[in-house]
Amino acid sequence: MAKFQPLQAPKGVSEYYPDRSEIFEYVRERLIGSAKSAGYQLIELPVFEDTELFKRGVGESTDVVSKEMYTFEDRGGRSITLRPEGTAGVMRSVIEHNLDRGQLPVKVWYSGAFFRAERPQAGRYRQFYQVGIEAIGLNDPEIDVEVIAVAQRAFNNLGLKNYSLEITSLGDKESRARYSKDLRQFISTLDLDDETARRADINPLRLFDDKRDEIKSAMSRAPILMDYLTDESASHFARVKELLSALGIAFTVNNRMVRGLDYYTGTAFEFVHHGLGAQSGIGGGGRYDGLMAELGGAELSGIGFGIGVDRCVLACEAEGISLPESAALDLFIVPISPASKGASVLLAERLREAGFRVDIAYGDRSLKGGMKAADKSKARLSLVLGDDEVSSDTAQIKNMKTGESRSVKISTLHQTLGENI
């Protein structure tokens, strides 16, 4: 029989397996914890949606929609797309389930895998992971600051230091209309290829997001949207800066930031890590005042962010941040006789039902082999179980950190594990 070659994961997919999965889980839970501490609640969304949602919500002029989406036709002939970002799906769900008709703002968090058909490199994957939040329904600068502060606290909880915050205002509808006229006039003087000209015609701000040196050089001379803000937009942004300063959150104003998605308006921001090279953005977001109406909902404002779990893992590694020391298990049981193997299974299940994390040295291992397995398990305690221990209901429990042992009653082991031994 021919031997099959081992299969590999698709190119550009980030996988996390023991032991590296530990830091992935640690990072993700710290990001989620920061959102929960501010009253955000879980929203769990499908990983694929009607393609039209992203065309309308994200914008056809963006690279995300025009070049990077994984789109396919399902068995019913419907065009389906694997989600490339989270906000459009959240807004669709809020509208569909009438969440905006209750108390405002609607405050939700989400986490999971997202998909973009990009050229893979360090920190840029075709399947990547994000934690995001959205606050929908009010246009208060105080909410803008809360959203930014949730991200800042998450990074601080991870121990990250080598990063900075950039903010800007993309203005309201009136600001953008005034600005668009002059920007389009400027762009008309540039010698652009047909594809770039088409994108600029749909949304001229997209040229600020172009990574080609010749376009970046040309756009460095373009007018700045911040110079066109209405009094209301300028006042809103001034209040955001005032509150950020009051909280001690350092920032710089980036006049040429546009973000990569068309729905952003008003306050926009990005956190940049200085140890990750080209893929330096570890999280960002902004306000999207017209998105809900664009998707068929009410004229309600919203603001949110997406934080890259993969890039935060890389940032932690770049800064040499190690996981806090914690035991993966409370107890590792080492059976050393055929009869004690069955007793170990019963004991382990009883302790697990009591809320303890317990594993067993499965297989016919020697005492030495079993203790090696206990050491590798990173358990807090170990217990050797043989025929004598089972019959006497007494065994020696060992502290794997100090090496100290003590005699315990097996029948009351759940009480012993609750003690600080």
Taking the alpha carbons at both ends of the chain, their separation in whole angstroms is 55
**CATH of the domain spanning 20-172+230-318:** 3.30.930.10
Residue 279 has pLDDT above 90, yes or no: no
CATH 3.30.930.10 in the chain: give the residue spans: 20-172+230-318
pLDDT for 208: 81
CATH 3.40.50.800 in the chain: give the residue spans: 329-417
For residue 142 the two structure tokens come to 């105080």
pLDDT tens digit sequence for 151-195 = 999 999 999 999 999 999 999 889 888 888 898 999 988 888 888
Q: Kindly give, in sequence order, each residue whose CB lies less than 8 Å from that of residue 293, ignoring residues fewer than 6 positions away.
A: 299, 300
Beta strand extents in 205-319 (DSSP E only): 252-253, 265-273, 281-287, 302-308
Residue 112 has pLDDT above 70, yes or no: yes
* Residues 170, 145: Cα–Cα separation, whole Å: 16
* Residues 211, 307: Cα–Cα separation, whole Å: 21
Q: What top-level class would CATH report for the domain 329-417?
A: alpha beta
Residue of 362, 347, 353 whose CA lies nearest to 395: 347
Residues forming beta bridges with residue 308, ordered by sequence position: 130
378: region left, alpha or beta (phi > 0 left; psi from -120 to 50 alpha):
left
pLDDT tens digit sequence for 199-240 = 888 878 778 877 788 888 888 898 988 999 999 999 999 999
pLDDT tens digit sequence for 64-111 = 887 889 999 999 999 999 999 999 999 999 999 999 999 999 999 999
Residue 324: pLDDT band (50, 70, 90) is confident
Q: Where are the alpha helices (DSSP H) in 164-248?
A: 173-187, 194-202, 213-219, 231-246
